[in-house]
Every structure is written in C-alpha cells, then in structure tokens.
Amino acid sequence: MSMQVTELKNTFSAAFESLQSGVSNRLPLWVEDLRLRALEHFEAVGFPTTDDEDYKYTNVAPIARGNFQPAAASDASGIIDPAHLEQFIYEEADGRRLVFINGFYDAELSSLDALPAGVIAGNLADALNGDAGTMLKNFLARGAETSGDDAFTALNTAFLASGAFVYVPRNVRVEAPIHLLFVTESAGEAIATFPRVLVIAEPHSEATIIEDHTALVEQASYFSSPVIEIYVDDEARVAHYKVQRESIDALHVARTRVEVGRAGIYDSTTINLGSALARHNINLQLRGEGSETWIDGLFFGEGTQHMDTHSLINHLEPHCTSHQAYKGILNDRARSVFNGRIFVHPGAQKTDAYQSNKNLLLSNEARVDTKPQLEIFADDVKCSHGATVGQLNEEELFYLISRGIHPELARNLLTYGFAEAIVEKIKVASIKRQLDEAILNRLHASLEA
C-alpha cells in the first residue's frame, strides 16, 4: 500500500472521528453502526489504483492527492442567496424541490408545497430518526451486503449525516418531477461532499426524480461522491434523470444502485457535462419478473475532461428487458471510458438486453475506451451489444455543405444531431432546453445561419 493512500485514509479517518465527537447530528444506533462498518470497509479496501481492472483507465490518484476535507453542515448553512440558485431551477419541479448544500439538506432553500398526499420528500436524517426509521434498515446501503461496496460508496456511507429521502406510497402517482438539487459551495476550500439519496417507490406508484449535481463557482475544485439508491417495487414506475453539471475542476465519483421488482419500470437518463474527472458506477438489479428498464446517457467532454461510466445490469429473473444507449461526444483531449456489463443469471429466461455505446470524436487527440460485455448463463435470451467510435461522417457533411450550409455550421448540426436521440427522449422540457443550450455552448455556436 502506498504512503499516499495511507495518508488519505488517515485524513478521512480523522474527519470521521471528529464527526463522531459532534453531538448535533446523531443518527439511530443501527445507522451509526452501519457508518462505522462502512469506514472499516473503506479502510480495508482502500482507494482503487490503476492496477484494479475496474480502474484501469481511470486514475483516481488526484482524489488521493487532493487532501479533501469532508464538508460539515455548519460550513454552508445560511450562506447561499436563493437568487444564486435561479440558474439551476427546473420550473416543472416548482414546489417539489429539495436543495442540498455540500450534501446537507437545506430546508430554507427547499420548497415542498406541491407534493401529493402521502408522499414524503425531505431530509434523509429526519426520516432515519423518525418513527418509521427502522423500516429503512432494509433499504439503506443494501448493496453493501448483497454485492459488497467499493471504496467510494463505503466512504459515502461512513459520512452519512444528511441527504434526500423520497417515498412514494402504494398507488400514488407523482406526475411532476421531484428535483434533488445538490449544490457545492466550497468557498475556495478543497472539500469533499457525500450526497446521499434513498428513493422508495411502492407497488403501483409513479415518480420522476431529477438528481442534479452542480456548483456555485464554475472553477471550484472539490471532490463529490454521491450515492443514490432507488427501489422500484412491483409494477411501480420511476423515471430518473441524473444531471452531472459539476464545476469543471471537480472530481466526481458516483454510485447509482437500483432494484426493480416484478413488472416495474425504471427509465434513466444520465447527462454528463461537468467535472475534470467523472466516474459513474451503475448497478442495476432486475429482481422481479417482467421488469423493463432503460439506462441511457449522454456525455460531452472537452479540454482534458475524463468521463467514465461503468455499469452492471443484473438480469436475475425471467422476461426482463434492459435497453442501454450511451452516446459520447469528445472534443480536444477529452477522454471517455465505457464499460457496460450485462449479466444474465441462470433462470433469467426470455431476457431481452440491448446495449450500445456510440462515440463521436471531434478531435484527433480525444480518446475512447469502450468495452461492452455480455455474460449469459441462460439459454433462451435475446442479447445484443455494440460500440462505435468515429468522426463526423464525410458524406453527411458534404450533403449539408452542398446545400449552402457553412462547413462549421454543418459540423455543429451533425454533432447536435448525434446527441439528439438522447436529448429527444428527455420528457422534462426545461432539462431538455438547458441541455440544448449546454451542447450549443460547447459547440460555440447557435444553430442559426
């Protein structure tokens, strides 16, 4: 074990000690126990290195070198002017917005006056401390027991002190989206934040969750390591948007863990725009017969951004479908990694799994490492996967140019067109509009002649 990693552990261990000595944010004993075990697990496994197969192409050493200090709740409370959050608002979620500063729930900045009866959306710590808190024992950090945690997820659990809790009871449909806005305000300090989300959608319920990671200062340097757990019960339907628009100097290592029950529907769209280094670990468990899932994403990297998506889709039961489409646009010296594993367990007959990762390189110095993987242990399944890496198509380009469109505009139009399949799928109009703008900004152009 290298000295650096040891030191890093000591940084987080010391921070953990001081968190423990605080009296203000006590959680139930079982949660404290969970946190302690998570810290121990983190100390045992340590941060991954490029010797680990899963981190072969993504070097997380900058996180080790950064000497990031876990943010404390008191550091950020009351310092944010609500007007500064205007830029991050999705109007469709008015009255259903939870705001978190450095991972900590901020009741003042949140607005929750438009939630249907019975739906709970609020501070995870309050939920854990509340009357029904022990019921969450079955859900919180379930992945740690069933599939074992990686260092980042364990670290997030170890520093659990706040977060989002969304509960949609049986038969309740939340038509409009619930926006979980995680804002980092580091005030120039190298802080670490550990946003945490727990979503439980009971049978026959419906909800749309927007998980949004951003920063007040565009060039702030910090480490953000969110974990979201989503439980989609039988015949429930959850749409999940993850918008990663962190500061351009942020380091972002995220975990999404989802379990889908019988005939449940989970539809996710991930948008990766921010961070110097962004790693997204997705773990999807299709646990009930006939569940249907979409796991789509778009990433657009420029400069020296590094964007890595690792997904594991576990088909555990028969008649489940998973569709995964990830599209990446890379400019300058940006780099992306896609590793998509589909695992079809014995007995998961009639599985229908489709996976694709298409990449568009706008520069000769951009780089992509893509690896779709199928592991099939059932004999009656339909599985396909594919990956492409390419530049703009010369014939398409000539076609547009031959109609009098300037070459630069034609290139932008084709690049935009490449992203369109993912953009088009977004049902929340203001996410779509903001994404459109972000793409056009990156192309340094508007699509006007």
Partner 1 sequence: MLEIRDLHATVDGNEILRGIGLKVRAGEVHAIMGPNGSGKSTLSKVVAGHPAYEVTGGEVLFEGKDLLELDPDERARAGIFLAFQYPVEVPGVSNAQFLRLAYNEKMKHTGDEELDPLEFKDLLAERAKIVEMDPGLMSRSVNEGFSGGEKKRNEILQMAVLQPKLAMLDETDSGLDIDALRIVAEGVNKLKSPDKAIVLVTHYQRILNYIVPDFVHVLYKGRIVRSGGKELALELEEKGYDWVKELDREAATVGAQ
CA-wise closest residue to 261 among 220, 210, 205: 205
Least distance to partner 1 from the beta carbon of 419, Å? 7
- Return the residue of 61, 374, 378, 400 that touches partner 1, per CB under 8 A: 400
Least distance to partner 1 from the beta carbon of 398, Å? 6
DSSP string covering 293-343, please?
Answer: EEEEEEEEE-TT-EEEEEEEEEE-STT-EEEEEEEEEE-TT-EEEEEEEEE
Alpha-carbon torsion (381, 296, 200, 30), positive or negative: positive
Distance CA 314, CA 294 (A): 13
Least distance to partner 1 from the beta carbon of 272, Å? 19
Q: What is the DSSP pairing of strand 251-260 with strand 227-232?
A: parallel
Distance CA 434, CA 440 (A): 10
DSSP state of 151: H
Establish if 405 lies at the interface with partner 1 (CB under 8 A): yes
Amino acid (one-letter) located at 423 = V
Size of the site for partner 1 (CB under 8 A): 27
- Report the half-sphere exposure of 398 (CA within 13 A, side-chain side): 3
- Return the residue of 86, 131, 175, 394 that touches partner 1, per CB under 8 A: 394
DSSP string covering 362-410, please?
Answer: SSTT-EEEEEEEEEE--SS-EEEEEEEEE---HHHHHHHHTTT--HHHH
Label each residue of 38-68 as H, E or C.
HHHHHHHHCCCCCCCHHHCCCCCHHHHHCCC
Establish if 407 lies at the interface with partner 1 (CB under 8 A): yes
- Return the residue of 171, 396, 433, 441 that touches partner 1, per CB under 8 A: 396
- Return the residue of 175, 219, 404, 444 that touches partner 1, per CB under 8 A: 404
Q: Which stretch binds partner 1 (CB under 8 A): 49-57, 226-234, 281-289, 411-419?
A: 411-419
Least distance to partner 1 from the beta carbon of 400, Å? 7
Establish if 401 lies at the interface with partner 1 (CB under 8 A): yes
Q: Which stretch binds partner 1 (CB under 8 A): 56-64, 281-289, 404-412, 425-433?
A: 404-412
Q: What is the DSSP pairing of strand 164-168 with strand 120-123?
A: antiparallel
Q: Which is nearer to partner 1, 1 or 449 (CB)?
A: 449
Establish if 409 lies at the interface with partner 1 (CB under 8 A): yes
Least distance to partner 1 from the beta carbon of 409, Å? 7
Least distance to partner 1 from the beta carbon of 429, Å? 17
Establish if 57 lies at the interface with partner 1 (CB under 8 A): no
Give residue 5's Cα distance to chain centre.
25
Q: Which is nearer to partner 1, 156 or 412 (CB)?
A: 412
Q: Which is nearer to partner 1, 24 or 402 (CB)?
A: 402
Establish if 403 lies at the interface with partner 1 (CB under 8 A): yes
Q: Which stretch binds partner 1 (CB under 8 A): 210-218, 282-290, 373-381, 419-427?
A: 419-427
Establish if 420 lies at the interface with partner 1 (CB under 8 A): yes
- Return the residue of 24, 86, 402, 444 that touches partner 1, per CB under 8 A: 402
Distance CA 428, CA 82 (A): 23
Amino acid (one-letter) located at 376 = I
Q: Which chain residues interact with partner 1 by CB under 8 A?
A: 394-396, 398-407, 409-410, 413-414, 416-421, 424, 447-449
